[in-house]
Amino acid sequence: MKNLELAKLLRMMALYLEMKDVPFKPQAYERAAYSIESLDEDIENFVKRVGKEGLKTLPGVGESIAEKIIEFLKTGQIKELEELRKEVPVDIETLSSIEGVGPKTIFKLYKALGIKNLEDLEKACREHKIRRLPGFGPQSEEKILKGIEFYKQGGGRHILGFIMPVVESLINYLKENKDIETVVPAGSYRRRKETVGDIDILAISKNPEKVMDYFVAFPEVEHIYAKGPTKTMVRLKIGLDVDLRVVEKESFGAALAYFTGSKDHNIQMRELAIKKGWKLNEYGLFDQNGKKIAGETEEEIYEKLGLQWIPPELRENGGEIQLALQRKLPKLIEYGSLKGDLQVQTNWTDGGNSIEEMVGEAIKIGLKYICITDHTKSLAVTGGLDEEKLLKQMDYIENLNKKYKGKIKILKGAEVNILKDGSLDIKDEILAKLDFVGAAIHTHFNLPKSVQTERIIKAMKNPFVDCIFHPTGRVINKRAPYEVDIDKIIDEAKKTNTILEIDAYPDRLDLKDEHIRKAVEKGVKLVIDSDAHSFLHYQYLDLGVAQARRGWAEEKDILNTLDVESFLKALPKRK
Ligand code: DGT
Ligand code: CA
Ligand code: CA
Ligand code: ZN
C-alpha cells in the first residue's frame, strides 16, 4: 500500500505550491491527497485496473496530478517535488503542522533565519529572533511556541482512521498464510481509540517461525526491531510500529483480553480474579489450585468471572466492569447502522464532488438520505454560499429529489458560520426554509473560554439551528480545541433542544468519546456525520460509530439511525 506515502508527497506538493503563491493548484493537490488516503484500494492496483483516465475520476486529480501519480508509482518519487525540496530544503510537513505556521511563513523564516526544522524554529523563538522580523512580533512568537508545545504533546501517535487501511491490508496479508489459523489486531486499535501508539497483533499458529518470516516480508516493513518465534516487532514505512505475537490456541482468549487492554481495565480484571482467590494473566484464568479454568476464548474468561462480555471500545476502566457484573452494559450502537449523513460538502463550495456525485455514491453504499451542507458566505476561502445561492441550491435539490425519488432523499441544509458575537451569517428567514441547519465555529478560535461558550450558546438559542457541528473545533495532532465549557454546552444543548454532532472525520472525531458519554447521560441527541468533502469520505461514518460506542451511545441516542421521515419528525426543535 503506497497510498499514504503518495498522499504525503501530494500534500507536500500542495504546501510548496502554496509557498510559491501558485493559485488553485495547492487546493487540487490537497484534494488529491485526501482522495488517495481515503481510497480503500491499493493505489497500484487501482491504477492497473482503471488507468490514467480512471485516476482522473478521483476528486482533485486532473491530467497533471494523474501524471505525477503514475511517475511516483514508476520511480518512487515526484521530480518536481524533489526540485522544490532542493530549492527550499525545509521539513515542510512538520513545520506546517504547527498552528499559525503556514508555507509562506516557513519560506520567510527560512530566508531570514535559515530555519529548516522544528528544532531551529523552537530555538529561534526562545532566542527571540522571530519577534524582530518584519511582520512578526512577541505575540506571534508566543503563539508559535504554544503551537510547538501542542505538537509535541501529540507524541507521534497515529490517527486511527488514517492508518486503518494499512493495518487492514497487513491483516489480510497475514490471513493469506496457511500457517496462520487466526489473526486479530488487539491493543488500542481494537478498542478503536482515536489515536494509536503502536499496533499489537495476535495470531494462532503451529509454525511460529515460518509465520514470523512471512510477517517481516510484508512489503511495507521498513525495519525489524526484534524477531523471535513468539514475538516480532517491526516498523512500517509509514512510521508505524507493529508487534506480532504468536500464541497457543488454548490461551488465545486470555492473550486477546490481555493485549486488548486497556492497562487499567486489565488491572481491574485481575483484581476481580484475585478476589475469588484466582489468577488471571495472558495465558489464562487459573483457580486456587492453579488449574486453568478458561483461556481459549475471551467470552469464557468474562463468563467465569461473572461478567457480561465487554465490547473492546468500553475497556477503559470507566465503570464498565461494575456494570458488566450486574449485566447492565449499554446496548451500544452497531456498526453500519447509520441511515443518513447530515454533513456533506460539495463543489458548490470546498467539496471535491458535485451534489449528484455525492448522491450517487451515497446510494451505492446504502445511505437513505444525505443533507447537503455547504459552507456559508462569511467563510470566504471556501466560496461560502450567500442567501441567494442557498435558495438556488434549494431549488436544484428540489428537482434532484424528483429524479432520485424512491432511491434516496436529499435534504437541504447548510453549515452556517457562527460569527464572533454568536449571531449567524445567514438570515433566519432563509434558514427557516432548510430541512436541517448545522452551525459551526470557523473563525475567532482564541476568545476567552466564557466568551466562546456564550457565543455557541447564543447560536444554540437560534430556533433554526438544529445542530452544532464539530463542537470543540479540534484537529487531532494539529489544533487544540478552542477554550469552551463543554459541560455548559451540553446542558444548554439539552435546554435549547439542539443536537450535537459527532464529526467522524479521522482527525476531528469531535465530539470526542468522553464528551459523548456526558451528552448521552444528559439525554442530549446526537448525529454522526462524515463531514465529507469527497465521496470517498462516507467510509468514515463507522469511525464516528466507533467513537460513539466509546462514548457509551446507544442507537436511540443517535438520530441518524432513524429513517428519513422519523429523523425529520424527531428533530428536537421542530417537533
Ligand atoms: P497504544 O499502543 O499506546 O495506543 O495503547 P495500547 O493500549 O495498545 O497499549 P500497548 O501497545 O502499550 O499495550 C497493549 C496492551 O497490552 C495494553 O492495552 C494492555 C496490555 N499491557 C501492556 N502493558 C501492560 C502492563 O504493564 N500491565 C497490564 N496489566 N497490561 C499491560
Ligand atoms: Ca498498542
Ligand atoms: Ca504495543
Ligand atoms: Zn468544508
Do 128 and 238 sit in the same domain of this protein? no
CATH of the domain at 241: 3.30.460.10
Q: Which of 271, 293, 325 corresponds to the end of one domain?
A: 325
Task: Show which of 99, 120, 153 is a domain's final residue.
Answer: 153
Q: Which of 157, 159, 188, 315, when mutated, tests ligand 1's pocket best, judged by the most ligand atoms within 8 Å of its CB?
A: 188
> Which atom of ligand 1 is nearest the CA belonging to 265?
29
Q: Whose CA is nearest to atom 16 of ligand 1?
A: 259
Q: Is the CB of 163 under 6 A from ligand 1?
A: no
Q: Is the CB of 241 under 6 A from ligand 1?
A: no
Q: Ligand 1 pocket: which of 192, 199, 200 to mutate (most atoms <8 Å of CB)?
A: 200
Which residues have C-beta under 5 Å from ligand 2, the single-atom ion? 187-188, 198, 200
Q: Which atom of ligand 1 is nearest to the CA of 188?
A: 8
- Does a structural domain hold residue 18? yes
CA-to-CA distance for 465 and 460, rounded, in angstroms?
A: 6
Tell the residue nearest (CA) to atom 5 of ligand 1. 188
34 and 144: one domain? yes
Q: Which residues contact 284 (CB under 8 A, 6 or more apart)?
A: 250, 251, 254, 292, 293, 294, 295, 301
Q: Which ligand is nearest to the CA of 374?
A: 4
**32 shares its domain with 96:** yes
Give residues with Cβ within 8 angstroms of 570, minimum separation 6.
525, 559, 562
Instruction: Please name every residue paired with 440 in a beta bridge, in sequence order, or none if there are none.
Output: 417
Closest ligand to C-alpha of residue 533 is: 4
Q: Is position 256 within any domain?
A: no
Distance 238 CA to ligand 4 centre (A): 27
Write the secondary structure of 176-229 as one string of H (helix), E (strand) and C (coil). Answer: CCCCEEEEEECHHHHCCCCEECCEEEEEEECCHHHHHHHHHCCCCEEEEEEECC
Average confidence (pLDDT) per 10 residues, the chain, 575 residues? 87 93 89 83 92 91 96 95 96 86 93 94 94 91 87 81 94 97 98 97 96 96 89 90 95 97 95 95 95 97 97 98 97 98 96 95 98 94 92 98 97 97 97 98 94 98 98 91 97 98 97 98 98 95 98 98 97 89
- Cβ-contact 504, 38 below 8 angstroms: no
Q: Is the CB of 347 under 6 A from ligand 1?
A: no
**Which residue's C-alpha comes closest to atom 22 of ligand 1?**
263
Total-model pTM: 0.84
Distance 312 CA to ligand 2 centre (A): 13
Which CATH number belongs to the domain containing residue 293 in this structure? 3.30.210.10
CA Rg value for the chain: 25
Question: Scanning the structure block, which residue is given the C-alpha cell 475469588?
Answer: 276
Task: Assess whether the C-beta atom of 561 lies below 6 angstroms from ligand 1.
Answer: no
Q: Kindly state whether residue 389 falls inside one of the protein's structural domains.
A: yes
User: Of all atoms in ligand 1, which is nearest to the CA of residue 258?
Assistant: 20
Determine the pLDDT at residue 231.
92
Which residue's CA is minimally distant from atom 26 of ligand 1?
A: 263
CA distance 162 to 243: 19
Residues 318 and 203 in one domain: no
Chain centroid to Cα 23, Å, comes to 28
Residue 66 shares a structural domain with residue 149: yes
- Domain assignment of residue 333, yes or no: no
Rounded to whole angstroms, what are the CA distances from 393 to 200, 343, 348, 370, 385?
Answer: 48, 15, 9, 14, 9
How confident is the model at residue 154, as a pLDDT?
65
All residues at 6 or more sequence positions from 170 whose CB lies less than 8 Å from its CB, including other chains? 199, 201, 218, 220, 236, 242
pLDDT at 24: 85
Q: What is the distance between the alpha carbons of residues 127 and 534, in angstroms, rounded to a whole number?
A: 43
What pLDDT, on a 0 to 100 scale, did the predictor assign at position 2?
84
- Asked which of 153, 186, 210 is the last residue of a domain, the reply is 153
Query: Beta strands of 206-291 (E only): which ranges?
Result: 221-227, 231-236, 241-247, 279-281, 284-286
How far does the centroid of ligand 4 lie from the alpha carbon of residue 529, in Å?
13
3-state secondary structure of 502: strand
pLDDT for position 575: 78
Task: Provide the domain count of the chain.
Answer: 4
Which residue owns the Cα nearest ligand 1 atom 3?
197
Would the CB of 461 count as within 6 Å of ligand 1?
no
Nearest ligand by distance to the CA of 344 = 4
| Ligand 1 close to Cβ of residue 261 (< 6 A) | yes
312 lines ligand 1 (CB under 6 A): no
Domain of 368?
A: 340-574
Both 209 and 281 in a single domain? no
Beta strands in 265-398 (DSSP E): 279-281, 284-286, 292-294, 340-344, 369-372
- Taking phi over 0 as left and psi of -120 to 50 as alpha, with beta for the rest, 476 belongs to beta
- The minimum-distance atom of ligand 1 relative to the CA of 261 is 18
How many other C-beta atoms lie within 10 A of the C-beta of residue 235?
Answer: 16
Q: Closest ligand to 30 CA?
A: 4
Query: Does residue 334 belong to any structural domain of this protein?
Result: no
Q: Is 490 in the pocket of ligand 1 (CB under 6 A)?
A: no
Query: Which residue's CA is the closest to the ligand 1 atom numbered 15?
Result: 259
Is there an atom of ligand 1 within 6 Å of 185 CB?
no
Q: Are both 345 and 457 inside the same structural domain?
A: yes
Rounded to the nearest angstrom, the distance between the alpha carbon of 531 and the centre of ligand 4 is 8
Looking at the fold, whether 364 and 265 belong to one and the same domain comes out as no
The CB of 259 under 6 Å from ligand 1? The reply is: yes
Ligand 1 binding pocket includes 266 (Cβ within 6 Å): yes
* 204 part of a folded domain: yes
| Bridge partner list, 340 | 369
243 CB within 6 A, ligand 1: no
Do 120 and 229 belong together in one domain?
no
Query: Does 533 lie in the same domain as 470?
Result: yes
- Distance (Å, rounded) from C-alpha 531 to C-alpha 528? 9
Q: Give residue 259's pLDDT.
A: 96
**Residues 6+ away with beta carbon under 8 Å from 289:** none
Same domain, 451 and 543: yes
Ligand nearest to the CA of 31: 4
Interval 150-161: pLDDT, tens? 777 766 799 999
In a domain, 95, yes or no: yes
CATH of the domain at 526: 3.20.20.140
The answer to whether residue 522 sits within a structural domain is: yes
- Residue 54: give its domain's CATH number: 1.10.150.110
Q: Answer yes or no: do 192 and 114 share one domain.
A: no
